[in-house]
Chains A and B, each alone.
Chain A
Amino acid sequence: MAGQRKWSRRLAALVFLLPALAGLLAFQLLPMVSSVVISFTDWDMIAKWTDMRFIGWDNYAAVFREEKSYTSLKNVFVFLIGYMPLVTALGTFLAVLLNRKIRAIKLYRAAVFVPVITSWVAVSIVWRWLLNGQSGLINFLLSKIGIHGPIWLQDDTWAMVSIIAVTVWKDIGFVSVILLAGLQDISEDYYEAAELDGASAWLKFRRITLPMLSPTLYFVVTISLINSFQLFDQVLIMTNGGPAGATSTLVEQVYKNAFQFNKMGFAAAQSWVLFVIIFAVSMLLQRLQRRWVVYER
């Protein structure tokens, strides 16, 4: 009886797990293993499997030799340095305001979320128009206050600035909603006690809000880091990596090498280099975390 029960349990476990296991195998594990294998070959997709030649570390060496790898890596770091502090600081500020108990707060919370739910493609197209040199609204508004605006997306300095600004605009709702959830977990008691001691608003923010919010902030920073390294949709549509590679990114390089230039092996190697970079930076962040993240005991 007990034995029978055990077998029926095993059978049930297997049956219920089967679809997910098949998915895991087919869409995660198998591609991962093949990706490693492909990265050591010169395979170009057109050739037959049997013509696949192993070329050792050549693809990896080529990734490090290629100028574009460094350009795109540099661009991603420029993006990261502009985007991460900005989205975190502004997101925190917005979250604090959204946490106030005032009328119409639900309306504000809904409004900041609209860019979040929209596809990057739609958003990028609208911004390409707004940032257009001649018929764009942004330059028109700037001309009203006497500024002659640049041709944003075709200018090699302003293109990246534009990408950063638009990404902050799109992600700020996401970041502030997550931080808002973190804020709402902070007990009112702390603030009441501080008020009795006559603490100023800034002091309360520094000594209570920031430390109590630090685990959520750490999460936001990690997410924005990963987002930065995976920068793709908005770049492909707004600038296509240009002008002259000024907004070229790592994922965009992987995509173009694989699907436009048919360099499958090279692209696979590039994607693993990218993974190692993301992994290393996340680890570094994890290390630094101990210095500033406060966990409640």
Chain B
Amino acid sequence: MRGNGLALKNGLTHLVLAAVSVVLVFPFVWMLTGAFKNGLEVVKMPPRFLPSHWNFDNFVRIEQFFPLYRFLLNSTVVAVATTLLQIIVCAMAAYVFAKIPFKGRQGVFLLFLTTMMIPAQVTLVPLFILFAKTNLIDTYAGLILPGIFSAYGTFLIRQHMLTVPNELLEAAFIDGASYYRVFRSVMLPLVKPTLAALTVFAFMSSWNNFLWPLIAVNSKELMTLPLGLSKLQGRWSTEWDVLMAGNVVSFVPIFVVYLFAQRYFVKGMTMTGIK
């Protein structure tokens, strides 16, 4: 009797979860199949689920409108550089906040935390002016630099570094290790899981960022994927086949990263507020 009840409950759970999954994933399936349809088929009613003929034209044709693969390169360069630099900068600062005491450290740390509360649009206008005046608009540096400082990332790594026992560091110092050596060979390896979580999190934020590139870039040659796609859809709003091909190009890399780093993705998300 009880067993039957449980089986029914599990069956219902499966049913609901499967339905929800379909609703959440279907638009991506539609995007994927749409990218291989031709211009007529993509707007045909009633719609065909799969393309009658799988064509790859859209992935080539899109280059007539916009340099999509240039966008892909730009997005990759910006996301990789932002992530790497952010991790290094945050880990270094976190090391100080966790393990190198000095007078006034608490105050500086508090200042870091306070900036987490300031919404991005408050600093948007002056940040643009700062970059315009220093000729960083329309450069890779202009796209990358604002993303490398992260109070949140610093805070996260610091929390993990606090759990490293001081005795371990003392022992290393007695053996003659420098601060740099301890950072590289003791601290970083010990907080690897947090670094991994932050890496995927930072990569995703950078890859998907729209507002800052929208402001910091004017020339086609420097557009990232989200920005390039938004411009593309503005002008050729009905070429759904071409647009879906562009969407697929922007979706596949982040999806692959997600598949490989799923565990850390979720961890990066949940760490945002809980632990």
| Chain A residues within 8 Å of B, Cβ to Cβ | 8-10, 12-13, 16-17, 19-21, 23-24, 26-32, 34-35, 38, 45, 94, 97-98, 100, 102, 104-105, 107-123, 125-130, 134-135, 137, 140, 169, 172-174, 177-178, 180-182, 185, 216, 219, 223, 226, 229-230, 232-233, 236-237, 251, 254-255, 258-259, 264, 267-268, 271-272, 274-275, 278-279
Contacts and interface: CB of A to CB of B under 8 A. Distances in A.
Nearest to B226: A121
B274 A16 contact: no
B230 to A, nearest CB: 5
Nearest to B89: A19
B119 A34 contact: no
Interface of B: 10, 13-14, 16-18, 20-21, 23-25, 27-28, 30-31, 34, 42-47, 88-90, 92-93, 95-96, 100-102, 105, 108, 111-112, 115, 117-130, 132, 145-146, 148-149, 151, 154, 179-180, 183, 204, 207-208, 210-211, 214-215, 225-227, 229-230, 233, 237, 240, 243-244, 247, 250-251, 254-255, 258, 262, 265-266, 269-270, 272-274
A29 B253 CA distance: 34
A34 B128 CA distance: 11
Contact of A118 (B10, B95, B208, B244): B208
Given A32-B118, A177-B266, A223-B273, A114 B25 contact: yes
Contacts of A38: 125-126, 129
6 contacts: A9-B100, A114-B255, A122-B229, A129-B240, A178-B272, A178-B274
B25 A108 contact: no
Given A17-B96, A111-B21, A264-B129, A28 B118 contact: yes
Given A102-B14, A117-B204, A264 B125 contact: yes
A208 B161 CA distance: 34
B124 A24 contact: no
B23 A271 contact: no
Contact of B130 (A26, A100, A172, A268): A26
Nearest to A180: B270
A34 B17 CA distance: 50
Contacts, number: 259
B250 A121 contact: yes
B230 A17 contact: no
A254 B210 contact: no
Contacts of B101: 9, 13
A274 B210 contact: no
Contact of B122 (A32, A117, A233): A32
Given A30-B130, A112-B20, A264-B129, A229 B122 contact: no
A30 to B, nearest CB: 7
Contact of A108 (B21, B207, B210, B258): B21
Contact of B233 (A24, A45, A116, A125): A125
Nearest to A108: B17
Nearest to A268: B125
A35 B122 contact: yes
Contacts of A236: 230
Contacts of A19: 88-89, 92-93, 148
Contacts of A268: 125-126
Given A32-B122, A177-B266, A178-B273, A102 B130 contact: no
A112 B265 contact: no
Given A118-B208, A129-B243, A137 B47 contact: yes
A294 to B, nearest CB: 16
Contacts of A24: 111-112, 115, 149, 151
A119 B102 contact: no
Contact of B244 (A8, A126, A230, A278): A126
A241 B135 CA distance: 31
B93 A219 contact: no
A58 to B, nearest CB: 17
A79 B45 CA distance: 32
A88 B229 CA distance: 31
Contacts of A123: 27
A20 B25 contact: no
A31 B33 CA distance: 45
B208 A119 contact: yes
Given A102-B14, A230-B120, 9 more contacts: A13-B102, A16-B96, A19-B148, A21-B108, A121-B210, A126-B28, A127-B27, A251-B121, A271-B121
Nearest to B44: A135
Contacts of B47: 137, 140
Nearest to A28: B115
A29 B120 CA distance: 12
Contacts of A251: 121
